[in-house]
Amino acid sequence: MQQYDTIIIGAGAAGLHCAANAARRGKNVLLLDHAKQAGKKILISGGGRCNFTNLYASPENYLSSNPHFCKSALSRYTQWDFIALVDRYKIPYHEKTLGQLFCDNSAKDIVRMLLDECAEHGAKVQLRTDITAVEYDQCYKLTTSAGDYNAKQLVVACGGLSMPKLGATPFGYQIAEQFGHSIIPVRAGLVPFTLHEEQKQRFGEVSGISVPVTAASGDGYFREAMLFTHRGVSGPAVLQISSYWQPGEPVSINLMPDTDALDWLQSSQHNNPKMQLSTLLQNAFPKRLAIALIDEFNWPGDKRLADINKATFNAIASQLNNWQLKPNGTEGYRTAEVTLGGVNVDEVSSKTMESKLQPGLYFIGEVVDVTGWLGGYNFQWAWASAYAAAEAL
């Protein structure tokens, strides 16, 4: 039986950062993962360039059953702290858009940095280890495929359910439940919408076309691009709003976010009475999309603007500025970037990330019911919650 001060389960973003910082503070740390490689999600994130934080990260960018929970950790380890670490390793990066920082070269730079930090401070990273049992009797006892381990503290950094092919499992939630924690129901977030069959066929024809929109649902409102795909709709506007969407609800899409569509239609009628509606729409949207919209809403595309009445213009304007799009569902965990819900934050200390129910048990990163927007916010939560726990271990 090997003894450690702290065992961390999950060598992802949160687990690696916590291991390095706990070891820096003198803890004897073992970091376990069943995967062959550490930080797999970091490696594929941001199209292989890892959007590792956001210049504007703040608590407003997170969803949780308790929106105040994330404040403490985020304020004690900010984006500037992580940027300072990246600078120390001389990793080149750039702001892509909206404060999103990406590596210039590769996400491998971030994983290498985190592993170097673990090595420098003496945290042991052990991969390919299946954990078959976790028990508590004065200390935590882990039975694994590589032997048995004891530790005074156990940090759960197993992440969420998104992308099972990258090693995601419900293990973190299972450990939480084993020690009496409740789980806020989980669902896929930052995920494309699928459409009902007829709409899927229609908009499948315009797959690859992206348009600037605003998307609103529940408390969420985003102004970014929407992309039509073979399955439905995606792009940053859709991924963002998916985290706020409830099944069965419509999403309000404004296809002309800078234009009052009724004004535009009426002034076009006045200026170009002989123009066909379809021609007007093709001036405003890519041609194939204009045709798909005419088909979707049964607009009189062949009619001259002069021959279209006020009621019809009202209907078209409302569909352009406030399209009530009803998704069929989402693509689910297969393509979701994050998992909403997770370990109930009411049962975890926001200062230390320690369980309020079980001494020495900590939860960090995505396994906790804190989910960020698209744009580097989820990694910032992983770094900040990991640091909060490491300071308390």
Residues that bind ligand FDA (CB under 6 A): 9-15, 33-35, 40-41, 44-46, 50-51, 131, 157-159, 162-163, 167-169, 171, 337-338, 365-366, 376-379, 382
Q: Which is nearer to ligand FDA, 18 or 293 (CB)?
A: 18
HSE of 343 in the Cβ direction (CA atoms, 13 Å)? Answer: 36
Report the alpha-carbon distance of residue 111 to residue 122 in Å, rounded: 16
56 vs 113: CA distance, rounded Å: 23
Residue 7 or residue 308: which is nearer to ligand FDA going by CB? Answer: 7
Backbone angles phi, psi at 144, to 5 degrees: -135, 170
Structure-token match 């399955």, residue found: 231
In the complex with ligand FDA, the residue whose CB is nearer, 15 or 232, is: 15
| Amino acid letter for position 287 | K
Q: Which is nearer to ligand FDA, 79 or 319 (CB)?
A: 79
Closer CB to ligand FDA, residue 13 or residue 233? Answer: 13
Pairing of β 131-137 and β 2-9:
unpaired
Nearer to ligand FDA, 157 or 211 (CB): 157
Q: Least distance (Å) from ligand FDA to the CB of residue 120? A: 20
Q: Amino acid letter at 304?
A: R
Nearest distance from residue 190's CB to ligand FDA, in Å?
7
What minimum distance in Å lies between the beta carbon of 33 and ligand FDA? Answer: 4
| DSSP code string of 69-130 | TTHHHHHHS-HHHHHHHHHHTT--EEE-STTEEEESS-THHHHHHHHHHHHHHTPEEE-S--
Q: How far apart are CA 56 and CA 72, in angstroms?
A: 16
Residues 6+ apart with CB under 8 A from 316: 261, 265, 277, 297, 299
Q: Which is nearer to ligand FDA, 262 or 392 (CB)?
A: 392
**Contacts of the segment 260-265: beta carbons below 8 A, 24+ positions apart:** 260/317, 260/321, 261/316, 261/317, 261/318, 261/320, 261/321, 262/313, 262/314, 262/317, 262/321, 264/317, 265/305, 265/308, 265/313, 265/316, 265/317
User: Looking at beta carbons only, is 50 or 73 nearer to ligand FDA?
Assistant: 50
Residue 242 CB, nearest approach to ligand FDA (Å) = 13
Crossing angle for the helix pair 261-271 and 277-284, to the nearest 10 degrees: 130
How far apart are CB 374 and ligand FDA at their closest, in Å?
A: 8
Which CB, 236 or 376, lies closer to ligand FDA? 376
Q: How many CB atoms lie within 10 A of CB 211?
A: 19
* Shortest spacing between CB 195 and ligand FDA, in angstroms: 22
Residue nearest to ligand FDA (CB): 12
Minimum CB–partner distance for residue 272 and ligand FDA (Å): 45
Calculate Rg over the CA atoms of the chain. 24
**Smallest distance from ligand FDA to CB 127, Å:** 9
How far apart are alpha carbons 379 and 385 in whole angstroms?
10
The minimum distance between CB 13 and ligand FDA, in angstroms, equals: 4
